[in-house]
């Protein structure tokens, strides 16, 4: 494992960088990417950001989001170092980038997931913190470089998203102090950040939520609940997988539920899974059974099975884990 001193030395040594993150990037991933991009730019470096998936509309209020390029644009770029943020494994950045975005010298892996692997030449993994944004904040503070207003907004968005708007147990006193510092630096209104991310919902998403909740099923004891989103439902409501974000939290709120599962059918017929736990079951370990990962209470994976088969395996695993606890 490396430290911030090692990371700063690497950033000073090389001139050209690429930054990327996991597929279906969220607020922590995008906010961290842009904040680090701005940091490296202040050092006079040449940086490009490539993501497997487009920036969701709700994050397009962030500064410089338009500088994030699609994966295919990376084929003509060979950086000295590649920085991978918020991805527990290299495969999480997507097949195209895994194959084509190859640095000359080093891969830097910065992550906070408990399931994170040491796949980089340099690895900064801090599962005790709330978010990758918190790691980037602490790193910039370590360097004695100032955090500007644009970076502050991006990092706050990352903190807000990965702590569930500071509701989750990973929002420590230190996280709240960092959030306060970022608000002071950025001079932005936290309620406006929240509104941008969570309240500007397209009508299609509301229709999709209704269709999704109509698929709700629970085990006989009510401890495991799941919903399914099909490609037909997405087509009928003119929505995308981005619009499914947060649906799993709706069923997690059921008072008897210990494990909530949201199943999304992908275009290739396989399955994208979001998992939430009330704390009894470690869903990061559950996701790891299917080559996924995340946190003890929030994780995900992709399964090369059709939704019906994936549900059967996921529910069986969750039931086994609940029974083992007793």
pLDDT of residue 158: 99
Does residue 17 have a pLDDT over 70?
Answer: yes
Does residue 188 have a pLDDT over 80?
Answer: yes
pLDDT of residue 73: 96
State the average pLDDT for the chain.
96
pLDDT of residue 325: 86
Please give the CATH number for the structural domain made up of 204-325.
3.10.310.30
> Per-domain residue ranges for the chain?
4-198, 204-325
pLDDT of residue 326: 67
**4-198: which CATH architecture?**
Alpha-Beta Complex (3.90)
- Count of beta carbons in the 10 Å neighbourhood of residue 33: 32
Does residue 294 have a pLDDT over 90?
Answer: no
Does residue 1 have a pLDDT over 80?
Answer: no
Span 145-155, pLDDT tens digits: 999 999 999 99
Is pTM, for the whole model, over 0.85?
yes
CA-to-CA distance for 16 and 47, rounded, in angstroms? 6
pLDDT band at 292 (very low <50, low <70, confident <90, very high): confident
Q: What's the whole-number mean pLDDT along residues 262-288?
A: 95
């Amino acid at each position: 494992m490396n430290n911030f001193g090692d990371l700063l030395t690497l950033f000073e040594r090389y001139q050209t960088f690429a930054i990327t993150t996991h597929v279906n990037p969220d607020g922590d991933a995008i906010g961290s990417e842009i904040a680090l991009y701005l940091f490296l730019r202040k050092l006079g470096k040449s940086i490009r950001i490539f993501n497997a998936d487009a920036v969701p509309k709700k994050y397009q209020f962030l500064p410089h989001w338009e500088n994030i390029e699609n994966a295919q644009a990376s084929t003509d770029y060979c950086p000295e170092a590649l920085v991978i943020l918020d991805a527990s494994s290299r495969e999480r950045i997507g097949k195209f980038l895994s194959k084509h975005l190859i640095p000359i010298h080093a891969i830097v892996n910065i992550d906070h997931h408990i399931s994170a692997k040491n796949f980089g030449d340099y690895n900064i993994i801090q599962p005790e913190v709330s978010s990758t944004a918190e790691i980037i904040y602490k790193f910039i503070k370590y360097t004695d470089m100032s955090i500007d207003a644009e970076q502050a907004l991006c990092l706050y968005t990352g903190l807000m998203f990965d702590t569930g708007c500071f509701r989750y147990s990973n929002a420590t006193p230190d996280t709240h102090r960092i959030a306060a510092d970022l608000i002071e630096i950025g001079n932005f209104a936290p309620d406006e950040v929240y509104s941008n991310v969570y309240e500007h919902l397209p009508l299609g998403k509301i229709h999709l939520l209704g269709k999704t909740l109509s698929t709700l099923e629970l085990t006989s004891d009510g401890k495991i609940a799941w919903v399914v989103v099909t490609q037909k439902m997405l087509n009928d409501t003119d929505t995308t997988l981005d619009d499914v974000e947060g649906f799993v939290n709706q069923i997690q709120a059921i008072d008897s539920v210990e494990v909530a599962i949201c199943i999304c059918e992908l275009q290739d017929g396989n399955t994208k899974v979001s998992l939430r736990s009330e704390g009894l079951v470690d869903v990061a370990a559950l996701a790891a059974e299917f080559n996924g990962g995340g946190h003890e209470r929030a994780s995900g994976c992709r399964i090369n099975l059709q939704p019906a088969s994936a549900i059967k395996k996921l529910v069986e695993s969750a039931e086994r884990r609940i029974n083992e606890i007793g």
